[in-house]
Amino acid sequence: MAAPPTAAEPPAPPLRWKLPLGLFVATIVSVFLTGAGWDAPKEANLVWLLTHLYRGWTFAVPLMAILVTHEAGHYIAARIHGVPASLPMFIPLPILSPFGTMGAVIGMSSRIRSRNALLDIGAAGPLAGMAVAVPVLVWGLMHSEVKAIEGSGLMEGQCLLYIGIKQLLFGTIPEGHDVFLHPTAFAGWTGLFVTMINMLPVLQLDGGHIAYALFGDRQSVFGKVVHYSLPLWFVFNYVVYREASPGMPWLVWFGLLMLMRRAAGGEEHPPYDPGETLSPMRKAVAVGTLLMFVLIFMPTPLRAYGDPADADASSEAPSPSSTK
């Protein structure tokens, strides 16, 4: 006996690749431009940078490897769970960003309502990206130098993981000296910073997905507490450094997350099946990634030091690290 006819499943939407490819190429150029700028002579202009893009490869190649691996983790996990996802759309940001990019986003045509899928998709990106960022950072630090602090520059933020790696590689750094970063070390540090921002346990960020999969509706309250506490980190930096710029990233992200919250109608996540539970392994992954956020959290992401008029144009490094 023949089975009764069934309605045909709608075809999968075509994979749109032209815009993601264009943004990817633009981001590569932007990141190479930024990398070349770290090693540019004082008199360099935009034309010089564009004709010497290749000089930025020691920063651009490892950074793009970290970002591409991060986004590939999300994309592959989404495909495994059958969640429609766009190709990663990278965001070029030359000149305005010290990294040349704001990372990337993956669009999803429907909200994730599976607890397991939410965790897997949220955690896959940070774990994959960190698997590349940490070796890149270690290699870059091994090619960095400890020098006396002179002139001016940018001082990158500190986190427990970063401090621990430097302690293992350099031991105690003499007073008045610091680690001046090889461009690849700065790329590895940027990987930590980008992962930290994505791991904020708020809304549709990676950390928000992971925390909601683990805690359920309790995450909505916790996420709002984290979100509305971000301006306090601006106040903290202002009190410590007596200037507004070191804490400005927290105000920027507070505003961006506010826009995301309004766009989502205030909803943190759609409810998932209350009968669906996480396996012990997935719970361990969720707890581990949230603990990773603690290890890479940087109260002061970047700050300027010294008088720009005294900057040493011959310096090989983008920034020293503050270990004092």
Residues 6+ positions from 214 with CB-CB distance below 8 Å: 119, 278, 283, 286, 287, 290
Question: Collapsing DSSP states into helix, strand and coil, what is residue 77?
Answer: helix
d(CA 175, CA 23): 44
Token pair 């507490």: residue: 225
CA-to-CA distance for 88 and 84, rounded, in angstroms?
12
DSSP three-state, residue 111: coil
The tokens for 214 are: 């683990």
CA–CA dist 199, 209 (Å, integer):
9
Q: Is residue 235's pLDDT more than 80?
A: yes
CB of 227 closer than 8 Å to CB of 261 = yes
Cβ contacts of 51 within 8 Å, gap of 6 or more = none
d(CA 108, CA 188): 28
Cα dihedral value 180, 182, 188, 191, nearest 10: 80
Distances (CA, A) of 170 to 96, 154, 180, 182: 32, 20, 12, 14
Task: Give the pLDDT of residue 309.
Answer: 54
pTM above 0.85, yes or no: yes
- Whole-number pLDDT of residue 49: 83
d(CA 36, CA 52): 7
Mean pLDDT for the chain?
86
Give the pLDDT confidence score for residue 262 in this predicted structure.
87
Give, rounded to a whole angstrom, the gap between the first and last alpha carbons of the chain: 80
- pLDDT (mean) for 56-77: 96
H or E element that contains 181: none
The Cβ-side half-sphere exposure at 140, using a 13 Å CA radius, reads: 32
The DSSP letter of residue 4 is: P
Closest CA to 99 of 179, 38, 51: 38
Collapsed DSSP state (helix, strand, coil) of residue 45? coil
The answer to whether residue 14 scores a pLDDT higher than 90 is: no
Residue 2 pLDDT > 50, yes or no?
no
Tell me the per-residue pLDDT of 85-127, one tens digit each, with 9 for 90 and over.
Answer: 889 999 999 888 899 999 998 887 667 778 899 999 999 999 9
Supply the pLDDT for residue 250.
95
Using DSSP bridges, classify how beta strands 153-156 and 177-180 pair: parallel, antiparallel or unpaired.
unpaired
Residues with Cβ within 8 Å of 30's Cβ and at least 6 positions away in sequence, in order, are 92, 93, 94, 100, 101
CA distance 156 to 134: 16
Least confident of 212-216, 229-233, 316-320: 316-320
CA-based nearest residue to 93, from 67, 74, 73: 67
Average pLDDT estimate for 156-172: 95
Least confident of 53-57, 202-206, 261-265: 261-265
